[in-house]
Structure 1
């Protein structure tokens, strides 16, 4: 497979084709995922005001933040199979529009029950976008180029922090009291608009497959399709559902991704709270400072993904950011009132945790092909994202019980380190 990948990468038609694809497809997916991630995690900023306005406890917030992933996980696999059947253009457009409507509905929350129901429905509405986008990229890029393609899309996660955090803080501060609404209610309405617009644009412009576009020449289309066909030859096309579910590698990947998600959402849901406790007094200042760890994450994501493709190595490029991120998060808990040092350590922690998210997704396509790639990516994302429920719930429960955020962070660190150890059990064939 290494020979195939190198030969494909060396051909001029291939290079030109993938350059065109990158410019036409990746920025669009990046913007869509940016809208998705802002709407998913802006609850972390809303918490700074919403919890006190509505009387929510830390445990109630943690439960509500995590309930998103129950609906999200249940509908992941069906959503990916629908995308594979009806095409990315229609299905991704549906996902974007439906979650925009639900996200705006948070502006009307009055009780914990309202909060829980809307978080569940937001998970249902958004289910399938991230794994659907990952599946979509397998229709355009062979394995040798996919880490870089994935990394561009996943830059939306730190960008959501860099852009969404200051924006959320600004809206909450400046819109407070307008039309007798609290600032956090305005935040939900305003930040839902980009997803709605992106959904309408997706339905009009997103191409489903290379053979559907007129901006690739016949030779370029043939080269891309040949690369993808040869690349698929080394993957496992399972013959039955039983064989698929019996594949131990699939469950190993689920366990690893569970650990990765535990760390990812410890950062995205609790970072504003940690920074506020360290001394960021206003929502706008909190938003600006919260953007710094996400800026560090952007640099790390690009560095790890390009290095992984260059060296044809995946496992240690996943283990390293998991371990570094977990250790930095633990050390940060020992200096809760030192704002400067906290920001530095949280930047390292965020860079590690979010880079691990990107690097993980270079592993599953090494084993899965065809319709099982749709089911496998969706299934791994569904099971792994149960950690999106567990992570905030565990932290919130431990904080409510003990009054100490450090206990929650220690639990997250332990989970991430166990996941890093499991990566060593991934077959070396993943290093493609």
Structure 2
């Protein structure tokens, strides 16, 4: 009797140790690599914010023209995202993510040929079309490996690639533009697009040989580890409220609710990332490299907050308040930054805005992935992401129009704050039982 009483805890302890070891293997095998992929992706998506500092003057672009060009990326993204994610679900992440990265790298390099507003619009649209499916594809891919109660922290770490791309990419972009300006007959912004496109092609090729499509394909896991991981995924699927067909995805009111929340989140995110160099320049910072260094500070703050909130959300298995609180903090940051002319305070408040707005996205994805699975997850995640990312079109364009009309960024920041507040309110209307598991 005594031996039996001791054997059970020991067996349970061994199971916990084996599970922890399996997830450590998965983490170190795929998460850092996916972060590198997303740093490269996000840099090629938002470096147009730095290009604006020279390109707008060289090509005589107004604020609205730049805003429309920056945002039109998301029209291509919107139109091709759901088909792209469904193809990924069918052919596997390894092939499809590699294809996406190589294609967008080549198109990003071709921005050196942009010489007019129409050409700028076309190239941004093509870039969005090429990249469509990458981000939701990664979110879907992570659901193949992690149950929802482990996912907020993992997605937060993965999405720390966004501020990391700002921390390293902004100074890099500024340095390239200053150092290579007029070298070989090309402007600094043209060199920036060309140089920063190369990693996408290289990493895309590596992706084809490095990624495994799922747990079963992973030769670096033992059979016992595969069984543990697969059992956790199956157990999670049994708890979900699953939408059984792709058609039902489009008529599910909860998915539309998720899309609105994400639209609000993305409005703040891209309002910040596309216009950060301009925001920093308006408070008195001069020189592209200096602007890059200063604009990296808010992104550095965002990394810490993103990971802290992701860990907390998984620890307490609570999703709604962990999303609503950073959204409200981001709104406060935008409002405060809009009302100060002091450079130090402006950077402090922009750091609060960045920490809040950028933390929302990884925490958001723990909501829909908690109740969707299978084909419904592939279609639902892509639909939510594509509709939400229309804010990436609306946000920079509206900010550009507001800046053209008012000559300042104050009312633009108020708009971003209002959207984050709305997103927080709708988040709290989500039933806790649906997402807190």
TM class by smaller structure: over 0.9
Looking at structure 2, the residues matched to 385 and 118 of structure 1 have their Cα atoms a distance apart, in angstroms, of: 18
In 2, are the aligned partners of 1:9 and 1:15 still within 8 Å (CA)? no
* 2:6 alignment counterpart: none
Out of 57, 60, 66, which is 2:71 matched to? 66
User: What residue number does 1:220 align with?
Assistant: 225
Among 125, 128, 132, the alignment partner of 1:123 is: 128
SS at match of 1:368: coil
Cα separation, 2, equivalents of 1:76 and 1:416 = 24
Give the stretch that moved more between structures: 393-402 or 240-249.
240-249
Structure 1 runs not aligned, ≥5 long: 1-6
User: Any conservation in 1 of the 2:67–2:398 contact (CA below 8 Å)?
Assistant: yes
**Comparing 403-412 with 251-260, which one deviates more in the overlay?**
403-412
Superposed displacement of residue 300, structure 1: 0.2
**TM-score, normalization: structure 1?**
0.97
Check whether the contact 1:68–1:122 (CA below 8 A) recurs between aligned residues: yes
Equivalent residue, structure 1, for 2:94: 89
Question: Which residue of the partner structure matches residue 155 of structure 1?
Answer: 160
Distance 1:10 1:184 in 2: 54
Cα separation, 2, equivalents of 1:378 and 1:159: 24
- 1:8: how far off? 11
Q: Encode CA deviations 1:114-137: one digit per residue, 9 max, x unaligned.
A: 100000000000001100000000
Deviation at 1:107, TM superposition (A): 1.1
Mapped to 2, the partners of 1:214 and 1:56 lie a distance apart of: 52
State the match for 2:421 in structure 1. Answer: 417
| Alpha-carbon separation, structure 1, partners of 2:386 and 2:26 | 28
Partners of 2:140 and 2:71 in 1: CA distance: 25
Do residues 45 (structure 1) and 25 (structure 2) align?
A: no
1:396 aligned to which of 379, 390, 400:
400
- Counterparts of residues 205-284 of structure 1 (less than 5 Å): 205-284=210-289
TM-score normalised per structure 2: 0.96
- The answer for unaligned runs of 5 or more in structure 2 is 1-11
Distance 1:281 1:9 in 2: 59
Partner of 1:3: none
Aligned-CA RMSD value: 1.3
Any conservation in 1 of the 2:249–2:379 contact (CA below 8 Å)? Answer: no
Cα separation, 2, equivalents of 1:239 and 1:200:
35
Measured in 2, the distance between the counterparts of 1:382 and 1:415 equals 18
Query: How much has 1:98 moved relative to structure 2?
Result: 0.3
CA positional deviation for 1:239: 2.8
Shift in Å at residue 330 of structure 1? 1.1
In structure 1, C-alpha distance between the alignment counterparts of 2:246 and 2:54, rounded to whole Å: 47
Deviations 1:185-243 (A, max 9, x none): 00000000111001000011111111111211111000000000001111133233443
Q: Deviations over 1:33-74 (max 9, x none)?
A: 000000000000000110011100000000000000000011
Shift of 1:178: 0.6
Bigger Rg, structure 1 or 2:
2
> Would you say the 8 A contact 1:328–1:349 is kept in 2?
yes
Contact 1:235 1:365 in 2 (8 A): no
- Cα deviation, 1:159-182, whole Å, max 9, x if unaligned, reads 010010000000000011110111
Measured after TM superposition, the shift of residue 401 of structure 1 is: 1.6
> In structure 2, what is the equivalent of residue 107 of structure 1?
112
Q: Distance in 1 between matches of 2:123 and 2:51?
A: 14
1:7-406 → structure 2 map (5 Å cutoff): 11-335=16-340, 337-406=341-410
8 Å CA contact retained: 1:75, 1:127? yes
Secondary structure at the residue paired with 2:239? Answer: coil
Secondary structure of the 2:250 match is helix
1:9 is displaced (CA, Å) by 11
Using the alignment, how far apart are the partners of 2:369 and 2:363 within structure 1?
12
CA distance in 2, matches of 1:352, 1:158: 12
